[in-house]
Copies of this chain bind each other. A is one copy, B any other.
Amino acid sequence: MKKFEEKTISSNRIYEGKIINLKVDEVSLPNGHTSKRELVEHPGAVALVAITEDNKIIMVEQYRKALERTIIEIPAGKIEKGEAPEYTAMRELEEETGYTADKLVLIQSFSTSPGFADEVIHLYAAEGLKKSTSGAVLDEDEFVELMEVTVEEAEQLMKENRIYDAKTAFAVLWAKQRLSIEN
């Protein structure tokens, strides 16, 4: 879909980083006017809705420098170069939570900030969850704390803004609908 397309006139690369790049594009609008677009490039990420046998959602608590505080999120991680999203999701699930899944089912892919970033998150449901013998295997510079919460607890954490990111907010609503259909 290219309705209202903004054609690139020129592109100025400002920064190439470890995770993100920044460029500023000059674009031609549908009415012939020109404008600038500040655009962040991101490799994309995966996230997982992993629900245990006793209907708890697996979450990780971690510090987010961008927000200068600790929040509670579903397991997620960025896609490494050349990785298929589903592989990233299996890897992150095991590394961050110590669980493995028989099967991943794509729930939805979505852009997080379409106004300025190309980041897309692929959100999977982890089915056939099993505790791996090795447990979570974190990098030595990775600090996360595992939690398992009911849907009701997750909704309370959203009210308190301790769950505070879009992918996790979506996941909580999705889990609520899924569990209400099953039960």
Chain A contacts to B: CB under 8 angstroms: 1-6, 14-15, 17-20, 22, 24-25, 27, 29-31, 33, 35-40, 42, 45, 61-67, 69-71, 73, 78, 108-119, 121, 140-141, 143-145, 158, 161-162, 164-167, 169-170, 173-174, 176-177
Contact = CB atoms under 8 A, between A and B. Distances in A.
A145 B109 CA distance: 23
Contacts of A39: 65-66
Contacts of A145: 3-4
Quick one: which of A15, A19, A112, A158 has the most chain B CB within 10 A? Answer: A112
A14 B24 CA distance: 13
A57 to B, nearest CB: 15
Given A18-B38, A29-B141, A141-B35, A70 B2 contact: yes
Contacts of A115: 19, 45, 64, 66, 78
